[in-house]
Structure 1
Amino acid sequence: MIRFLHTRIRVQDLDRSIDFYSKLGYVEKERKASPQGNQLAFLELPGNEVFLELTWSADYHTTCPEDLMHTCVGVPDIIAYCDALEKAGLEIWPSAWREKFSAGERKMAFVTDPDGYEIEILES
């Protein structure tokens, strides 16, 4: 069986990105340098086999590619999760997510990481 193992994204500031993703629930499992001199951080969501690899390179300017639309996390209670993210200082969008959820619209929200990558949040 073939399994999906990880996604790698480039970041401008490794510590700032780790701080952001830790607010989403990710845990840093390992940090090391690659043979090419990149600084790598491996993050995982507890209970998941798939991980997120953050990469920083001194000679590389990070730009969020327009065609990378988003990654996605599933949470059991999206309202409690989004409330906690807001309390941690993250901006949830759409801005009127509470009203949309209480009006019966699909429970889907987004946050944007420090480099412009979008993270979709779904109740699952």
Structure 2
Amino acid sequence: MIKFLHTRIRVSDLDATTAFYLKLGFELSDRKDSPQGNKLAFLDLPGSEHFLELCYSPEFKVEFPEDLMHTCLGVDDVIEYCDKLENDGIEIWPGNWREKFADPANRQMAFVTDPDGYEVEILPNK
């Protein structure tokens, strides 16, 4: 059996990015320095075996083309989750998500953007 264990992303501010993902529901499991001098933060989601590794290196400038990659979170209630994020000061897009989700013909799918521009898609678990 092969398992997908973790995803590593480069970040420009380890503390700010860690704080952002904690608001999304991640938990900080560890922080350490790598032998190469990188500062690392390891973030878990309860119930998920896959974890997110944030990597900060002062000499590395975080730049990537728009929409290069994204991660995706499945939540039990997209509206409740997006409300919580907005109350925590995180912008949800599309901006008209409440109106869009009110129409049962529309799929509940939203996005947030982390401090470095990485997109996080939000979908229902169902």
What does residue 49 of structure 2 align with? 49
Distance 1:39 1:70 in 2: 22
* TM-score under structure 1 length normalisation: 0.97
Distance 2:86 2:101 in 1: 16
Unaligned runs of 5+ in 1: none
What does residue 14 of structure 1 align with? 14
Cα displacement (A) at 1:21:
0.2
* TM-score under structure 2 length normalisation: 0.95
Unaligned runs of 5+ in 2: none
Distance 2:41 2:118 in 1: 17
Cα displacement (A) at 1:103:
1.1
Secondary structure of residue in 2 paired with 1:25: coil
Percent identity for Structure 1 against Structure 2: 65
Cα displacement (A) at 1:87:
0.1
Q: How many residues align?
A: 124
What does residue 58 of structure 2 align with? 58
AA paired with 1:121? I
What does residue 84 of structure 2 align with? 84
What does residue 122 of structure 1 align with? 123
Distance 1:67 1:122 in 2: 17
Regions of 4+ moved over 6 Å: none
Distance 1:83 1:67 in 2: 24
Secondary structure of residue in 2 paired with 1:16: helix
Does the Cα contact within 8 Å between 1:72 and 1:119 map onto a contact in 2? yes
Tell me: CA distance 1:78–1:15, structure 2 relative to 1, closer, same or farther (3 Å): same
Does the Cα contact within 8 Å between 2:31 and 2:42 map onto a contact in 1? yes
